[in-house]
Structure 1
Amino acid sequence: MAAAALARAVEDRYHGIMGALGDPRVADWPLMDSPFPTLAMVAVYLLSVVVIGPSIMANRKPFQLNKIIVVYNAFQVLYSSIMFYEHLMSGWFMNYSYACQPVDYSSNPIATRMANLCWWYYISKLTEFADTVFFVLRKKDNQISLLHLYHHSLTPLETWICVKFLAGGHGTFSNLVNNFVHVLLYAYYMVSAMGPQYAKYIWWKKYLTKTQLAQFVLVFFHSLQAIYYDCGYPKFIAALLLVHSIIFYALFYDFYLTAYRKEKPRLQAQQQLKQQQMIGNGSAPNGTANGVANGVANGLATQLPGDQKTVTEAKKNE
């Protein structure tokens, strides 16, 4: 009896929170009634890419998915570009304050447009499960890092909470910046999957991780303003955004240092080999030769967080 009473009390409390604090505009939207469908999808995702998928692929050859990956990444570039534009036109290029912006829960067309955009941003995080699925099908299990899993499993839950309770306002700045970064990331993934002959067009790859780090710095200081100023935006949520930025900055910075330490010796060895070859042929200008072209060392490419395809891998699949 006591257990049943406790269960009823918890259920009543749950429905009370959802009813009292939830945004009434999104109450009837798909997947917004309860967090449990999202939790279930995240659980299935983790089970599939960590246990089931690798087990199925253990004795199979990796799938060659270059064309599918190109199409998928082109879709993500377009999706992120549209959302970036919509975030600007729904607030950040219009009437939003960069100092502190409360959530507009009214039925104002601009406010409703931002709320709809928040829902589509949430959906985009579900579509990104495919990033990991491609790793599994191509047997690139080494690229399914803790950072990758943490990012892909946490963001759907975070964005669901934002849509349910805070569909607009100060926190959407992180969505805006993230969309911009994702346009660059998925553009890189798309071009690198097209083959090594296109490597010259992604010379800017070395700046991508730095751009991701800059993203978290921007969100950190922008969220800090919502704590300092009082505009009605929940300071608790702003504090969570601060913590989120710190955690992801630390994870990505650790990745950046690790990748740099691994890549530097390879670049030096590649450069020395190139110098020896050119000197042997009598063609090294001024006695030196640069083995690094636009940040890509003769087909070698460092892995980005969640990197889907390196130039070297593209060569192997030609």
Structure 2
Amino acid sequence: MAILTERFYQVGNTFVGLQSFPVMVIYLILIALSPLYQRMTKPYSLKQIMVVYNYTCSFISGCTLLGFITGMVKSGSIFRKEGNDVLEYSYFMYWCTKNIELLDTMFMILRHKRRQISFLHVYHHASMVLLTDFAYHYSPWAGIAFGLSINSFVHVCLYYYYGYTAQKTLPGAPTWKRHITELQITQFLIGLIHNTIGYLHHGFCVYSMFYGVSMLYLFSSFYYNAFLRKRKGE
């Protein structure tokens, strides 16, 4: 028990020392202050900005996807705990992307879409800023890049969907939204299986499994509440 406590303490100190930790703290403070801001202001449209922003995020995610795939091929294994120059550059770009994606929440605040700022939304964005910072500086490996490459693919689809719907009404938008959520759940399921195999046979860290379980649970709960329970109620 003492060893486990010491280990958690060491990990906590590492995360607090990351460059992105102050960014995460400011992000959470702005969310906490957002109700006050919205009571004092009128909502902005931001339509054109949203179009450019979302298409840009989709494009950058496509670049990180290609970088991770190239780096993994160069590494030779999706379980190898080693990096290379291609992976290191891709990890840096991916880390920068997760900081840029914090603007998702800022746009929600400016547009007075506070209902969209759920626990899942905040937990996902805040945690990814820290985890990608940690991965870039301490473990830019092929084994972790496998899950990040899937996430990059999902974000190519996700931000394209956001950009297109911001640009004009998308036919069948509710269906798109449901399928993208299913894609996200599939992503975390594959990642959890990969991390479990990595933990059992390749010395992966157990924390990746805990995080995967938390994301799988939260997205599955969202899917149930948004699509299945609603249908039962109708």
Q: TM-score, normalised by structure 1?
A: 0.65
CA distance in 2, matches of 1:40, 1:48: 12
Residue 198 (structure 2) aligns with: 226
Deviation at 1:95, TM superposition (A): 4.1
Report if aligned partners of 1:219, 1:241 keep a CA contact under 8 Å in 2.
no
Structure with bigger RCO (C-alpha 8 Å, 6+ apart): 2
Aligned pair in 2 of structure 1 residues 218, 36: CA closer, same or farther (>3 Å)? Answer: closer
State whether residues 35 and 160 of structure 1, in contact with CA within 8 Å, keep that contact through their aligned partners in structure 2: no
The answer on 1:72 being equivalent to 2:53 is yes
1:97 to 77, 98, 110: 77
Percent identity over the alignment is 25
Structure 2 gaps, min length 5: 1-9
Q: 1:46 aligns with which of 18, 28, 32?
A: 28
Partner Cα separation in structure 1 for residue 178 and residue 128 of structure 2: 25
Paired residues of 2:95 and 2:129 also in contact (CA < 8 A): yes
Deviations 1:134-153 (Å, cap 9, x if unpaired)?
10000011110011111111
Superposed displacement of residue 127, structure 1: 0.5
Counterpart of 1:24?
A: none
Q: Quote how far apart the aligned CAs of 1:203 are.
A: 4.7
Shift of 1:205: 2.9
Cα 1:112–1:240 change in 2 (3 A) is same
How far did residue 36 of structure 1 move? 4.5
Residues 75 and 82, structure 2, Cα contact 8 Å, conserved in 1:
no
Alignment deviations for residues 179-205 of structure 1 (CA, whole Å, 9 cap, x no partner): 000011101111111122x33578533
Superposition deviation, residue 250 in structure 1 = 0.3
Q: Equivalent of 1:62, from 26, 30, 43?
A: 43
The number of residue pairs the alignment matches comes to 223
Superposed CA RMSD in Å reads 2.3
Matches within 5 A, 1:1-318: 35-51=17-33, 53-91=34-72, 93-98=73-78, 100-104=79-83, 111-196=84-169, 198-200=170-172, 203-230=175-202, 234-235=203-204, 237=205, 239-261=206-228, 263-264=230-231
In 2: Cα distance, 1:162 partner to 1:95 partner: 17
CA shift, 1:159, in A, is 1.1
Give distance in 2, aligned partners of 1:95 and 1:161: 20
Gaps of 5+ in 1: 1-13, 19-33, 105-110, 269-318
Per the alignment, residue 6 of structure 1 pairs with none
**Deviations for 1:84-137, whole angstroms, at most 9, x for unmatched residues?**
01111112x444323x21214xxxxxx112112111111111101100001000
> Which deviations, in whole Å up to 9, do the C-alpha atoms of 1:32-79 show, x marking residues without a partner?
xx835311111111111221x332221322101111101000100100
Structure-2 separation of matches of 1:195 and 1:151: 27
- Contact in 2 for aligned 1:191/1:199 (Cα 8 Å): no
Letter of the 1:69 partner, please give it: M
CA distance in 1 between counterparts of 2:229 and 2:167 reads 25
More helix by share: 2
